[in-house]
Amino acid sequence: MTSLGLLHHVEIYVSDLKRSNDFWGWFLSELGYTLYQEWEEGFSWKLGDTYLVFVQAKEKYLDVPYHRCRVGLNHLAFHASSRAQVDELTEKVRSKGMNMLYKDKHPFAGGDHYYALFFEDPDRIKVELVAPE
Ligand SMILES: [Zn+2]
């Protein structure tokens, strides 16, 4: 098993590190990630050979907020283990009052054979959790 070509890491700048740590720490641990690095301005979570890094954006760059419709990252999609896991996390997202997307079409917002949960991180980055087909 080689990691050739797989994502090594992704780094995302956030507007409020504490808030993002609460959100991503919860979600990524549900998927089996473990805390990998933590320092004053950031943290990372790792699964296998891939890790996600979150860094506090500097104050002077916070004047233009993130918007997923602008050029740049639109969303991050993760594999779920099963449809049951998608359902379980959907319940948790609801009960935590997080912003779920495409509620009217859930869980088939991505298509008839595509079972997924869509929601938002605290900076409104779209997060997707997809069940295996
Ligand atoms: Zn997607």
How far away, in angstroms, is 75 Cα from ligand 1 center? Answer: 7
Q: Are residues 51 and 100 in the same domain?
A: no
**Do 78 and 129 lie in a common domain?**
yes
CATH number at residue 125: 3.10.180.10
Q: Rounded to an integer, what distance in angstroms lies between the CA atom of residue 126 and that of residue 100?
A: 9
- What separation in Å is there between the alpha carbon of 127 and the centre of ligand 1? 8
CA of 125 to the centre of ligand 1 (A): 12
- For ligand 1, the distance from its centroid to the CA atom of residue 74, given in whole angstroms, is 9
CB atoms within 10 A of CB 26: 14
Q: Which of 42, 54, 44, 119 is nearest to 80 (CA)?
A: 119
Q: What is the pLDDT of residue 49?
A: 96
Q: How far is the CA of 76 from the centre of ligand 1 (A)?
A: 7
Q: From first to last of the 133 residues of the chain, give the pLDDT tens digit.
A: 789 999 999 999 999 999 999 999 999 999 999 999 999 999 999 999 999 999 999 999 999 999 999 999 999 999 999 999 999 999 999 999 999 999 999 999 999 999 999 999 999 999 999 999 9
Burial of residue 30 (number of CB atoms within 10 Å: 0-12, 13-18, 19+): middle
For 59, the token pair is: 């104050």
Domain extent at residue 120? 74-133
The verdict on residue 26 lying in a domain is yes
For residue 15, being part of any structural domain is answered with yes
Give a yes or no: residue 95 inside a domain: yes
N-term to C-term CA, the chain: 22
Distance 17 CA to ligand 1 centre (A): 24
Q: Are residues 41 and 81 in the same domain?
A: no
- Which residue is associated with the tokens 């890790």? 51
pLDDT at 28: 98
Supply the pLDDT for residue 99.
96
Pairing mode of beta strands 75-79, 116-120:
unpaired
Q: Kindly state whether residue 3 falls inside one of the protein's structural domains.
A: no
Please report the pLDDT score of residue 80 as a whole number.
Answer: 98
How many domains does the structure of the chain reveal?
A: 2
DSSP 3-state of 35: strand
CA of 69 to the centre of ligand 1 (A): 14
The verdict on 133 and 81 lying in the same domain is: yes
